Each structure stands twice: as structure tokens, then as C-alpha cells.
Structure 1
Amino acid sequence: MKRLRVRMPGRWLLAALAAVAVAVTGTLLAPRTTAVWHWTASGTQLSEASIRLLETLQGPISLTVALPEGHPVRAHVRRLAASYERHTTVELEFVDPGRSQQRARELGLLRDGEGLVGWQGRHERFSTPSEARISRALQRMSRRSGRYVVWLTGHGERRPDRGTNFDMQAFAQALERRGYRPRSVHAKRVASIPDNTAVLVVAAPTRHLDTAARTLIDDYISRGGSVLWLTEPGGQAGTLLPVAVGDAPLEDPRTPELLDVDDTRLLVLDAEQGHPASRGVQAPLLLSRATSLTPGESEWQITPVITGSRRLTSDERPATLALALTRQLEDRRQHAAIVGDADFLADAYLGNGANLPFALNLVDWLGGNNALTGTFMRGAPDQRLDFRRTDVLLLGFGHIFALPILLALGAAWTWRRQRGGRASTG
């Protein structure tokens, strides 16, 4: 008698049946189950700068975005609003430009993705819904209360209202976008610096400050005003603040190698980490004809903000090119800053490296907006690779020596195997 043999289905058939079962189960459960995974680097977390900004605001914010019903960007906007709602109250509204044309025209939202952010009765428009644009708009609204940045003029200083390479028009425009109101004041035409001045800028006067100008600055400092003094070799900052200014520009013998230029007075330096002015500053600064600064004995607490290596000076100590000064004045803290270079904020140099973000942070700190320093843009961690020195050496050794040796060994093993196969066949 022959035995009856039952043949089991092949593995491929079992795999197909399992796949069909999973698909059917997913189809049945889909209407009842909702799951969302957010795999982007930013996720739904705000940057530290945005969180600090929201902590300074009082009251809810509103977001109105023009997007049609069912538009996929609506989900992104809801996630973005939820990230803000973790730190404050958010009122979110969508406007369908197709169905509510009159409402969209009243709000001035003409394109999909445009929106308005509101706070305490003020509103600002943004072109696309992103953390950077929304937080910048909130930052500007929070400062729009007469926060003037005043340039003192009358002695050959750099000016905020002229567009030459020597002057600082681009920096003034950047401050205006940040919510400040830049102005210039002639030293001989005012009796005192206005009380609503957030920061007084003394931008490297080329002529000697007369008695009237010195009295004007000294009175402003004695009233607790914040000063950003940009000086150059042999400058006059030391006459009113406890800092000695060097007489000659510093030089870096490595500049030709770093920048491929012959001018060794161009310096590539990093801002000192730990100070609010360097918050979010990743790139180096570019300074030109900068001089060293030496702090003196005083009631001010003086901290280096920009330092250079020992190769910039003949001394044993590293050169200091910018100082932050702080002192307690009655019920508040007063700030001042001295930078041994005025070119790094001039139109010709402002766009290099991190000159602009560093300077904006410095003005925020001087103006008492320490919580608002930093950047609202956070780079994804997979956009940058950080290697230690040992990692770089291992990678270099691997590509130059190890990888060719492995390839040669693999080729020799393959050749020997093929040769042995031919010999056995013969």
C-alpha cells in the first residue's frame, strides 16, 4: 500500500499568505486607528530662542493662515501651532482664499501659505508658516515701543543713514527688521541723549571728542544707559570707560594661509562662548585693523567677548579685542561693550562670517533683551558631521592605506580562486 504524502506549501507561498493577511488586517483597522510619526529633525520642538521669547510675552498669540480646505500644509501649521501652545495660548484660524475671498482680502492674505501673527492688538504678516518667521514677527512686535538705537555723530563717526562701505546702513536696516528704531543724533544739537534710547552707539570718531560730546556720553552712562563703543587703534573709549585701547592694529601671520590675501591685518576669530552675544553664533568673525583692549580697575565687571591667540601679540597673554562691561546700578544692571574694531560692522564687512548675528545679539544684550538673543533657526543634526581629530585620522588612514590594501587582497583572493578552478578543470 502506498502512503499518502501531503506536500506542504513552499516558503514563498507562506510568505505571500502572511503578506495578504497583514494587508487585510491593516485595511480593517485603518478606519479605527490613528497613528502619527514625525521623523523630521525639528519635530514639534521650538528652538531655545523661541521659548525664551515666549516667556517674555504676556497674553495669547493668534495665527491666521490662508490655506484651502484639505491642503496638506494645514497639518504642518497645526503641528507648529501646537509647539507654540506648549508655552503660551495660541488661537489658530485658517482662511480659505477660494471660499472666503472677502475675508482673505481684508486680512491682506493673497497667496496660499501667507499668514498673520497677532499679539496684544498688533499684527505682522509672514510669507510662509515657519518658526523663524513667526518668532521674528513676535520679536519685532514686542520691541515696537520706542526702542531706539542712537548713533552719536559730529566727530567723523560711522553713520547709520549713509550707504558707503565705511558706514553702517546695512547694520541699521538689520536692527530695524529686528524691531529697533535706528537714529543718529548730532552731539552739538541735543542737550542729552533721549531716555527711550536702548543703546547708544559711538562708532569710532575720527576727530577728538570735545567737552560737549564727552559730557553728553558721560551723563548718559551715569543715568544707566547702555553703550556700544566701536574703537580703533588709538581710540578715545578709554577716556570714559575703564579700558585701555591699543595704539596699533593687530596682525595675524596666518591670514595669507587662511584667507588667501596678503593683508595680515584681517583677523579670523571666534566669539567667546558663554556670553549671550555668542549665543547661536557658529561661524567665526572677520575683523580688520582691530586693536587690543586692556581692562582697568573699576566697579564694572569686565568679561572678554572676543579674544585672539598669542600669535597676534608679542605678549604671553592672548589678545582681547572686545569686552563686555556690567555693573549694578541701583535696582538694575547696566551694560556696556567695547569692540576694538569698527570695520566689522561697516557695510563692507558686515556680511562676512557671523559678524551680523554676533552684533545683533550684542545689541540685544546691551538693550536688556538678554532673553531674546540667539537664532530661531535650528539646523538638522544630519546636515553637519562633527569628527574628533582621531576620527579624522582613522578615516584618512582608511581611505589612503587600509581600503587599497583590502581591495588588493580581495582581488588576489579572487584571482587565486579562479586559477585554482581552472587547474582542477584541466
Structure 2
Amino acid sequence: MKQRIRTLGYVSPVILLIGLGIYYINGLWDMLSTGLTVLGAACGIVYLVVCFDDLRQAFSARSFRSGTNSLLITCLVLSLLVFVNMIGYRSFVWKDITIARKFELSPLTQTIISDIREKKQDIYFTSFFWTYVDRNLSQEQNQTLIRQNREREGKLRDLFEVYGSVTPNFHFRFLDPNKELMLARQYNIQRYRGNVTVVEYGDYQEMATDMETEEQVTNALIRATSGEQRKVYFLEGHQELDINDGSPGGFVMARAAIGDQSYITERLNVLEAGGVPADCRALLIVGPRKPFLSEEIRLVDDYLENGGRVLVCLDPEYDSGLGEWLLSWGIRVDEDIVVDNSTAGVRQGAGPTEPLLYSYDKEHPITKFLMKAYSTMPTVRSVRLVDTPPTDLELSVLARTSDNSWGERDRNAMAARNPTFDPTDLSGPVPVAVAMLKKIEETEPGLHEIATKVGTQAPTKQEIEKIKREKSQTKAEMVVFGDSQFASNSYLRYGGNWDLFMNAVNWLIGDERLITIRPKDPEDQTIYVNQRQSNRMALMLQYALPALLVILGTWVWVIRRFR
């Protein structure tokens, strides 16, 4: 029995290390890591209690004292290495030794940072990375999500270190919202599901989600230092949802979310204003209940044709008169109501006219990060592409309902609450959201992309302005939803509705004048050897090195033998 306990004592450190290693890799105390850690600790404690005499004899042996001296020397060397690494960590020096300067900041980024350094005004980046367990996801999905968050945090930290090495005015910190509750509430981080970075520059504050690349960080610097007043307008005059209404059917929460992005939100009567103002970054048409006048449609169309960005949410109960106009942009809104009898909706407590959305476009920036989060749209109409869309438009169906759904076109059946599918209805899965993009030649200076050659100096401000005029390009963008209530106060926090709405708004108000930093091409580091060099390398590895080891070993044996 005692021999078995000795065996358990010998393997207990291995079991304990395996359990801790699994926790370190997954970041979660799951059943396997917890079980192995507890088992290893328990076996070690039992061994210490039962076999204490064996440990006393081992400690009093001469070999133990000799081994202790070796252990002390090893600890001394390790302590020296730790001390050297601490000095290196605190005295951070960044030097890119690759031929193509692959890991250096681009010349444009260095120009922008030099402007910040000249102004001598500090800029702060506060990144919040979630490490909590989402109960809506499985254990495996939680482990994957936490591991991905830690990898992203490490990459972003390295990138911030590079920025901080260029200018002392760049400050950053990484926080966990679950541990820094006061700061999380101060910045209102609970609104967001993903990782959030708060950028602060004087009185300017902006929130950016899922920041990872140099392009995103530099664009945040440009927005912070530009001092530009950016506005998002909500169209009014047709009984749209009220952006100041805090009731369940109001839109005040959506307006506040857009305001968190440092955008000024205002109402707009396009007829009184004589068109869409030039400072409009996005025009939102949310739930109109009255038809548009032809002059209003013309003004909105002129804005879109000149590189505008429009979000349209049309409820199926009302006729806004925008159907014909949307057809000219390749989008069809049908006069139907989507009915979904799938069991998934019933389990979530949704009725047949509140379809759950699981199927998203995996490639489009609006929906590719939604993963398996479901959204719901109460009383939604179908929004789909025309049969033959114009060739100059890029159209994408963002979200569809389940296979068990259809677009019910018989309003009498809907009124009687007895809808059934018939050949005149639109069969599922039914598309309910579409995104449109059209590239347009820009007439005013902007900045689309600047590519600089490797090894060249950063361009001056005059050169940048010249390239702006030469490389200008803009786009017309539009997103159409078949419902507006999904972003109202009562539904915005439901499932993935927040992410779907804010992703659409962020995609529309994305600043195309900001720089696009092209990833550097990896340099060719292939070593080419001829046949003669290859033979010499083979001779060295296969014969010379083994022979040298044999000679040295023989020399050591002879010296020890005849000493």
C-alpha cells in the first residue's frame, strides 16, 4: 500500500502541471483542468502525510546537500536572466532588422505621429478586452473566444508598443471590464459585445470596436487630431421613429449609441434644408409612415449619387413611396410580411411574425463578425435583389430567415391571424436586409490610398495633398432593412440586434478619406546554393561534426582515464 502511495507521490507533480497547463491554454477552469489539478494536489498531500519519513531521510542525505548547492547556483543564474529581461522590458527598444522593413510603421503613420509630437498633446488609448464566459455559447466556443481575445490583445499591445516607441505622447492601457467596473461604466462599455478601444485626445473621445491593425490605429489618430465635426442626420417629416423618445417604440438608445462614436446626431427636413448638408456622414431613414414627395426622393437620390451613405428601415405596415426609387438601386422591397413557423423561434418566445435571423453573409463587413448570434425583427418585410441588377452596383444580402419561413402577401390572412403558404407567397429563406455599394469618381479632394515605396522617406504635407487630388475616389453606400422596430428601445438589446444595427451604421459612416495602409510584401529570403556548396554542407553535417564529437569524447575519456 505504501509503495502505491509513493508511486502516486512521484506522478502527482506531473498531473498537477498537466491540469495547470490545460487551464493556461484554454483560459477556463473546465472539468478536465479542475479535475487534474485537484487530483494532482490531493495525491501530493497524501504522499507528504504518509511518506514523510522518506522525505526526512532524503533531506538529510549527503547527495541532497550536494544537489542543493547545484540548485542554488541554478537559481542564481535564473535570477540573473530574469533581472536582465526586466531591464530589457522596461527599456523597450524597437528595431526592425528585416530587409524590407516589414515591421516598421508606414511613412504615412510616421508623418501623422510627428504632427502629434509637434503639438505636444497626449493621446490615450484604453482597450477593454472581455474574458468572461458567455452563457449563450457552448464551452468550446467560450474557450475559442477567450483564446482569440488574448491573442488579439497581445498583437495590439505589441503594435501600441511600436507607436509608443516613436512618440512619448502616445499612451495606452489594457483593462478587463469585469475587473474595472467603474471605468467600464464611465465609458459605457456594457453596450458593446466585442472588444472596445476608447481613444481620447483633449475633449475628443471615440470608441472603436475590434481594433487590430496599424490601419485602424492610424485612422483613429487621424479622426482624433482632425477636429472635424461629423454629423449623422435622421430624416424627419414622415412620422419616422423619434430619436428623442425614450418609450419602448422610440429611438433614443440608437441615437445614443451613434453619439458614443463621437458623431453629432441631428434631425433633417430635406425640403426645408434644400437637400442633404455637406457635413452629413450618413442619412438615416427610420420607419417612415407617410409617403415621400417626389422632390424629397430626388434630393436624397442626388445625395446618394454624389457619394452619400443612406440607411433605410421600412416597416411592412406602411407605404413610404420609396419602392420605385430603391428599384433603381437594385433593391426590391415587397409588400408582404415574413412568417416563420420554425421551432427555434418558438423556443425563444417569438411569434410567427417575429422571425429569428441566424443566416448572415459571412464575407460582408457588417455581418461577418456576428458568428452565431441571433437577431429578431418584429413584423418584417422581405428585402431582396432585383432579377437583373445594374452591373456597376455591388449588392449583398446581409440576413435571411429560416427555411421554414415565407413572405405572406395576403394581408387578409394576416389580419385573421391564420397565414398559410400558397404559390403566390415568397418561399423561404427570405432575405430581409441588403447592402449596396457603388464606386463613384470623386470631384472634391479626398484620400483613398497612398502606397509608398520601401525605403522612401515619409511624404510631406504638400505631397500628401497632391496625392489626395490624384488618387481620389468615393463610394455611394446604402443599407436597407425590412423593419425599423428591431433597433427601437424595446428590441435593440435583444440578441444580436445591437451588433447588426451598429455594424450597419459604422460601415456607412466609415471615412473613405482615411488612409488605407497596404500590407508590406514579404521579402524573398530564399537561399540559393549550387551543387558544390550543397556537397560541402552535406560533408560538414554528415561527417565533420560527428567526427569532431568522437574526437572530443575520446580526448575527455583519455584525460580522465590516466589522471
Identity %: 19
Alpha-carbon distance change, 170 to 142 in structure 1, aligned in 2, over 3 angstroms: farther
Which residue of 2 is the match for residue 354 of structure 1? 496
Equivalent position amino acid for 1:166 in 2: G
Cα distance, 1:199 vs. partner?
0.8
Cα distance, 1:267 vs. partner?
2.1
Aligned-pair RMSD on alpha carbons? 4.1
Which residue of 1 is the match for residue 306 of structure 2? 223
Deviations along 1:132-162, whole A, 9 cap, x unmatched?
A: 9x97986973685232111110111113222
Which residue of 2 is the match for residue 189 of structure 1? 272
Which residue of 2 is the match for residue 83 of structure 1? 159
Which residue of 1 is the match for residue 290 of structure 2? 207
Matched, 1:238 2:323: yes
- SS of alignment partner, residue 366 of structure 2: helix
Q: How many residues align?
A: 311
Alignment of 1:231-310 (within 5 A): 231-233=314-316, 235-242=320-327, 243-254=331-342, 258-261=346-349, 263-270=351-358, 271-282=360-371, 283-296=373-386, 297-298=389-390, 299-310=392-403
Equivalent position amino acid for 2:353 in 1: R
Equivalent position amino acid for 1:286 in 2: T
Q: Given that residues 279 and 361 in structure 1 are in contact (C-alpha distance below 8 angstroms), is that contact kept between their aligned partners in structure 2?
A: no
Gaps of 5+ in 1: 1-8, 37-50, 66-76, 95-115, 373-426
Q: Which moved more, 1:185-194 or 1:195-204?
A: 185-194
Q: Given that residues 401 and 428 in structure 2 are in contact (C-alpha distance below 8 angstroms), is that contact kept between their aligned partners in structure 1?
A: no
Alignment of 1:314-353 (within 5 A): 315=426, 318-330=429-441, 331-353=473-495
Matched, 1:34 2:124: no
Q: Distance in 1 between matches of 2:154 and 2:333?
A: 54
Which residue of 2 is the match for residue 18 of structure 1? 67
Alpha-carbon distance change, 256 to 310 in structure 1, aligned in 2, over 3 angstroms: closer
- SS of alignment partner, residue 205 of structure 1: coil
Q: Which moved more, 1:175-184 or 1:10-19?
A: 10-19
1:162 to 245, 258, 263: 245
Which residue of 1 is the match for residue 113 of structure 2? 59
- SS of alignment partner, residue 276 of structure 1: coil
Deviations along 1:272-330, whole A, 9 cap, x unmatched?
A: 22111124334222211111112223342211111222211155552111101111222
Gaps of 5+ in 2: 1-55, 87-104, 117-121, 126-152, 172-197, 407-420, 442-472, 515-563
Q: Given that residues 158 and 205 in structure 1 are in contact (C-alpha distance below 8 angstroms), is that contact kept between their aligned partners in structure 2?
A: yes
- SS of alignment partner, residue 233 of structure 2: strand
Which residue of 1 is the match for residue 466 of structure 2? none
Alpha-carbon distance change, 251 to 161 in structure 1, aligned in 2, over 3 angstroms: same
Structure with higher helix content: 2
Q: Distance in 2 between matches of 1:354 and 1:138?
A: 29
Equivalent position amino acid for 2:232 in 1: V
Alpha-carbon distance change, 123 to 21 in structure 1, aligned in 2, over 3 angstroms: farther
Alpha-carbon distance change, 235 to 264 in structure 1, aligned in 2, over 3 angstroms: farther
Q: Given that residues 140 and 177 in structure 1 are in contact (C-alpha distance below 8 angstroms), is that contact kept between their aligned partners in structure 2?
A: no
Equivalent position amino acid for 2:397 in 1: P
Q: Distance in 2 between matches of 1:55 and 1:308?
A: 43
Q: Given that residues 249 and 290 in structure 1 are in contact (C-alpha distance below 8 angstroms), is that contact kept between their aligned partners in structure 2?
A: yes
- SS of alignment partner, residue 301 of structure 2: helix
Equivalent position amino acid for 2:375 in 1: L
Cα distance, 1:211 vs. partner?
2.8
Alpha-carbon distance change, 81 to 272 in structure 1, aligned in 2, over 3 angstroms: closer
Equivalent position amino acid for 1:291 in 2: R
Alignment of 1:386-401 (within 5 A): none
Q: Distance in 2 between matches of 1:308 and 1:56?
A: 47
Alpha-carbon distance change, 259 to 159 in structure 1, aligned in 2, over 3 angstroms: farther
Q: Given that residues 370 and 496 in structure 2 are in contact (C-alpha distance below 8 angstroms), is that contact kept between their aligned partners in structure 1?
A: yes
Matched, 1:367 2:457: no
Q: Given that residues 166 and 347 in structure 1 are in contact (C-alpha distance below 8 angstroms), is that contact kept between their aligned partners in structure 2?
A: yes
Alpha-carbon distance change, 278 to 16 in structure 1, aligned in 2, over 3 angstroms: farther
Q: Given that residues 245 and 291 in structure 1 are in contact (C-alpha distance below 8 angstroms), is that contact kept between their aligned partners in structure 2?
A: yes
Q: Given that residues 256 and 263 in structure 1 are in contact (C-alpha distance below 8 angstroms), is that contact kept between their aligned partners in structure 2?
A: no
Which residue of 1 is the match for residue 224 of structure 2? 141
Cα distance, 1:203 vs. partner?
0.9
Q: Distance in 2 between matches of 1:162 and 1:278?
A: 28
Equivalent position amino acid for 2:377 in 1: L
Alpha-carbon distance change, 319 to 131 in structure 1, aligned in 2, over 3 angstroms: closer
Q: Distance in 2 between matches of 1:327 and 1:291?
A: 24
Alpha-carbon distance change, 246 to 235 in structure 1, aligned in 2, over 3 angstroms: farther
**Structure 1 length-normalised TM:** 0.62
Matched, 1:312 2:395: no
- SS of alignment partner, residue 377 of structure 2: strand
Q: Which moved more, 1:267-276 or 1:247-256?
A: 247-256
Q: Given that residues 367 and 500 in structure 2 are in contact (C-alpha distance below 8 angstroms), is that contact kept between their aligned partners in structure 1?
A: yes
- SS of alignment partner, residue 475 of structure 2: strand
Alignment of 1:65-144 (within 5 A): 82-86=158-162, 89-91=166-168, 122=202, 124=204, 141=224
Q: Distance in 2 between matches of 1:25 and 1:16?
A: 14
Cα distance, 1:56 vs. partner?
12
Equivalent position amino acid for 2:437 in 1: T
**Structure 2 length-normalised TM:** 0.48
Q: Given that residues 242 and 251 in structure 2 are in contact (C-alpha distance below 8 angstroms), is that contact kept between their aligned partners in structure 1?
A: yes
Which residue of 2 is the match for residue 101 of structure 1? none
- SS of alignment partner, residue 337 of structure 2: coil
Q: Distance in 2 between matches of 1:301 and 1:221?
A: 15
